[in-house]
């Protein structure tokens, strides 16, 4: 092999790895929603988990990536260790799909149908279709479909380039002697493990083995131990991903390693015994691309059949090797490992954002009640929830910015943008809850009291604020457009109500019915309540924006106001419900 052939092989290898990575990422984006659904249906059943791991790995074309995802799920509490074991077993079978696709390059025959099956015939067609989809289609899904086709074309081009570059190696005695050396099962397994550990993909290492098999110098006796070693080498990625993770996540990575090491050791022993006792002739024959794919699939199926009945034993083994500590282990809200699967990472962000929203609304609800009963326990609860919303906003904001930088589908990208906008509004609602608490504490500490009229008016406006909070929370958590449509009319009523209460307060000051000190506190209370309703309006407007694929909240709110008589009818109904004159009689009515 001269320098030019070496460069050609290196270039082909780079194209092969790049195409595989490109195709896997595009497939993951294209199947984002379905991937969420598949993982959402996980159960503790062995075969359900097995099929899930098989299906997910077949989609993203990498057992290493699938196992890293599993480690992230276990680390975030989205998956139990027992579920992870079954998924990892399925992932080992799913990764064999790549070898079957690559084996098409070895098809031989002169008739038209056989020639059409060869990658050299259909890859250019797929590349043309892919570039049309990617360059000229506006739909994100069609662009991802184009990227899948382009990635596959790049992968196959790299495979053919590698095969062409190494074709001359078959005439080199040293190359033949190297693969004769690998017929020693232990050396073959070690070589496969090292190669896979370096490139961190068993699918890619099997593809490289298939390209070398095109020289005709790779026997089945050498290929099979290398395949067994590749299963061990692919564990490196998962082991590295478990660094700094929870104990259960480390156990999931150890399950992957144990499963592959035990399976490889058992079947290598059986293989060595057959090789020594029977010396079958086919082990000396040259391995074909299809033959390597078959061996890869059979080996992974045998490992799964061996270990599937021993799931409980495997779980006890890793739990024994990584023991629980006495102290409770903190559970991370968001795991960086989930960024490898943006659709799942976004789903986790939605769950954490829901916790933030619920904490903020709960804090505001408690603060509304604190005006009449400001106890130390209530104050501590409100401040604790406000601190929690601060923490969640920091974590979510940083995580969502990183997530937004990844290539995601259009719907996922819009959802990430919505969360980034909305979490700030919920965090500010919690802040206003603390402000209301401080107003209640100021009244108590200074020995001030609101007039009976002010307290009655407070019950009116606080009732309206409680209702708008409920609508905003339901709109956000459930994407409820009907609830979102009720927010803006009620916000308009709260704005008018605040101004009317300010006017009434001024009259009471002039008449000496209210002290100046209590009046300042009352003004702060009204300001905080009105701003809470503004944040609810922002939240509802954002939900409406995403539903209509529009990120202009001001235009959305304007459209709501101009939507016809329905908007003004809701305002009239809320004005009647929260009328200062008849609220006492009508506050039990339901709109």
Residue 263: name the closest of 306, 206, 209 by CA.
306
What does R_g of the chain's alpha carbons equal in angstroms?
32
Q: Residues near 327 by Cβ (< 8 Å), separated by ≥ 6?
A: none
List the structure tokens of 242. Answer: 């478990």
187 class by beta-carbon count within 10 Å (0-12 exposed, 13-18 middle, 19+ buried): middle
Could you count the other beta carbons within 10 Å of the beta carbon of residue 452?
Answer: 9
- Rounded-to-integer distance, Cα 274 and Cα 214, Å: 26
What pLDDT, in 10s, does the model give residues 214-225? 777 788 888 888
Give me the pLDDT at residue 330, please: 47
Give me the pLDDT at residue 359, please: 93
Q: How distant is the alpha carbon of residue 446 from its chain centre?
A: 51
Contact predicate 537/470, CB 8 Å: no
Could you count the other beta carbons within 10 Å of the beta carbon of residue 558?
Answer: 12
- Rounded-to-integer distance, Cα 312 and Cα 570, Å: 59
**H or E element, residue 78:** none
Contact predicate 285/111, CB 8 Å: no
List the structure tokens of 145. Answer: 């479909």
Give me the pLDDT at residue 41, please: 59
- What is the average per-residue pLDDT within 402-420? 78
Give me the pLDDT at residue 552, please: 56
Could you count the other beta carbons within 10 Å of the beta carbon of residue 369?
Answer: 15
Confidence of residue 115 (pLDDT cuts 50, 70, 90): low
List the structure tokens of 435. Answer: 């402000």
Sign of CA dihedral 431, 432, 436, 438: positive
**H or E element, residue 382:** helix 376-404
Give me the pLDDT at residue 83, please: 80
Give me the pLDDT at residue 34, please: 61
Could you count the other beta carbons within 10 Å of the beta carbon of residue 139?
Answer: 11
Please state, rounded to an integer, the average pLDDT across all residues of the chain: 80
Distances (CA, A) of 499 to 55, 359, 493, 506, 530: 60, 29, 10, 11, 10
List the structure tokens of 235. Answer: 């564990």
Asked if residue 47 has pLDDT above 80, the reply is no
Contact predicate 565/483, CB 8 Å: no
Contact predicate 196/228, CB 8 Å: no
Confidence of residue 466 (pLDDT cuts 50, 70, 90): very high
- Rounded-to-integer distance, Cα 173 and Cα 175, Å: 5
What pLDDT, in 10s, does the model give residues 178-189? 666 777 888 888
DSSP secondary structure of 130-163: HHHHHHH---HHHHHHHHHHHHHHHHHHHHHHHH
- Rounded-to-integer distance, Cα 437 and Cα 460, Å: 18
Highest mean pLDDT of the ranges 16-25, 149-158, 274-283, 291-300: 291-300
- Rounded-to-integer distance, Cα 86 and Cα 54, Å: 10
- What is the average per-residue pLDDT within 470-499? 91
List the structure tokens of 93. Answer: 């079978």
Confidence of residue 513 (pLDDT cuts 50, 70, 90): confident
Q: How distant is the alpha carbon of residue 570 from its chain centre?
A: 39
- Rounded-to-integer distance, Cα 254 and Cα 258, Å: 6
List the structure tokens of 445. Answer: 């500490």
Asked if residue 363 has pLDDT above 90, the reply is yes
**DSSP H helix total and E strand total for the chain:** 26, 0
- What is the average per-residue pLDDT within 67-76? 73
153 class by beta-carbon count within 10 Å (0-12 exposed, 13-18 middle, 19+ buried): buried
Residue 13: name the closest of 192, 201, 204 by CA.
204
3-state class (DSSP) for residue 219 = strand
Contact predicate 90/50, CB 8 Å: yes
Q: In which residue are the tokens 């202009």 written?
A: 552
DSSP secondary structure of 48-72: HHHHHHHHHHHHHT-HHHHHHHHHH
Q: How distant is the alpha carbon of residue 209 from its chain centre?
A: 33
What pLDDT, in 10s, does the model give residues 309-346? 888 888 888 888 887 765 544 455 677 767 766 777 88
Angle, nearest 10°, between helix axes 63-75 and 46-60? 120
- What is the average per-residue pLDDT within 228-242? 80
User: Comparing 43 with 415, which gets the higher pLDDT?
Assistant: 415
List the structure tokens of 587. Answer: 């506050």
Question: CA torsion 57→60→62→63, rounded to 10°?
Answer: -30
Query: Which residue stretches of 61-104 are H helix?
Result: 63-75, 81-94, 97-102
3-state class (DSSP) for residue 286 = strand
What pLDDT, in 10s, does the model give residues 514-570? 778 888 888 899 999 999 999 999 999 888 888 776 655 555 555 555 555 578 888
Contact predicate 295/223, CB 8 Å: yes
Percent of the chain with pLDDT over 90: 17
List the structure tokens of 131. Answer: 């570039």
Q: In which residue are the tokens 């209640």 written?
A: 440
Model pTM greater than 0.75? no
Output phi, psi for 286, to 5 deg.
-70, 135
Asked if residue 208 has pLDDT above 50, the reply is yes
Asked if residue 67 has pLDDT above 60, the reply is yes
- What is the average per-residue pLDDT within 196-214? 77
């Amino acid at each position: 092999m001269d320098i030019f052939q070496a460069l050609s092989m290196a270039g082909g290898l780079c194209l092969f790895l790049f195409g595989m990575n490109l195709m896997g990422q595009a497939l993951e984006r294209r199947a984002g929603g379905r991937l969420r659904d598949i993982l959402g249906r996980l159960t503790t059943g062995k075969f359900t988990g097995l099929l899930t791991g098989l299906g997910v790995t077949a989609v993203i074309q990498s057992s290493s990536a699938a196992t890293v995802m599993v480690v992230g799920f276990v680390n975030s509490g989205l998956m139990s260790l027992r579920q992870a074991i079954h998924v990892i077993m399925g992932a080992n079978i799913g990764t064999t799909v790549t070898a079957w696709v690559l084996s098409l390059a070895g098809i031989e025959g002169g008739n038209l149908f056989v020639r059409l099956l060869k990658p050299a015939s259909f890859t250019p067609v797929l590349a043309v279709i892919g570039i049309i989809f990617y360059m000229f289609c506006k739909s994100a899904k069609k662009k991802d479909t184009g990227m899948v086709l382009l990635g596959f074309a790049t992968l196959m081009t790299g495979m053919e380039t590698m095969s062409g570059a190494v074709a001359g190696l078959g005439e080199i005695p040293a190359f033949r002697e190297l693969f004769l050396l690998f017929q020693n099962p232990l050396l073959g397994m070690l070589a496969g493990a090292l190669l896979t550990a370096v490139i961190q993909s068993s699918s890619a290492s099997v593809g490289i083995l298939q390209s070398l098999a095109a020289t005709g110098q790779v026997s089945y006796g050498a290929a099979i131990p290398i395949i067994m070693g590749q299963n061990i080498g692919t564990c490196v990625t998962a082991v590295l991903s478990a660094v700094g993770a929870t104990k259960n996540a480390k156990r999931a990575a150890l399950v992957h390693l144990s499963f592959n090491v035990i399976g490889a050791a058992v079947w290598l022993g059986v293989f060595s015994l057959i090789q020594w006792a029977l010396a079958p002739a086919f082990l000396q024959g040259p391995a074909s691309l299809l033959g390597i794919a078959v061996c890869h699939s059979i080996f992974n199926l045998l490992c799964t059949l061996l270990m599937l009945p021993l799931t409980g034993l495997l779980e006890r083994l890793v739990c024994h090797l990584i023991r629980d500590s006495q102290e409770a282990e903190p559970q991370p809200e968001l795991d960086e490992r989930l960024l490898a699967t943006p659709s799942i990472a976004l789903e986790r962000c939605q769950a954490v954002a829901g916790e933030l929203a619920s904490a903020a609304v709960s804090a505001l609800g408690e603060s509304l009640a604190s005006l009449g009963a400001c106890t130390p326990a209530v104050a501590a609860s409100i401040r604790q929830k406000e601190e929690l919303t601060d923490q969640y906003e920091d974590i979510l904001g940083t995580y969502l910015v990183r997530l937004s930088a990844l290539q995601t589908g259009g719907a996922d990208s819009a959802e990430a943008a919505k969360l980034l906008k909305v979490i700030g509004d919920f965090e500010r609602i919690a802040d206003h809850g603390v402000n209301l608490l401080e107003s209640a504490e100021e009244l108590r500490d200074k020995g001030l009291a609101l007039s009976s009229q002010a307290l009655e008016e407070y019950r009116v406006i606080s009732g309206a604020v409680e209702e708008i909070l409920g609508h905003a929370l339901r709109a956000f958590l459930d994407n409820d457009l009907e609830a979102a449509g009720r927010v803006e009319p009620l916000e308009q009523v709260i704005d008018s109500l605040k101004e009317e209460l300010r006017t009434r307060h001024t009259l009471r000051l002039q008449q000496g019915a209210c002290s100046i000190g209590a009046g300042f506190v009352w003004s702060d209370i009204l300001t905080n309540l009105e701003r809470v309703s503004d944040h609810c309006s922002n939240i509802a407007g954002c939900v409406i924006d995403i539903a209509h694929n529009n990120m202009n909240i001001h235009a959305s709110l304007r459209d709501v106001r101009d939507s016809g008589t329905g908007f003004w009818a809701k305002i009239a109904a809320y004005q009647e419900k929260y009328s200062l004159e008849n609220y006492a009689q009508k506050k039990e009515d339901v709109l």
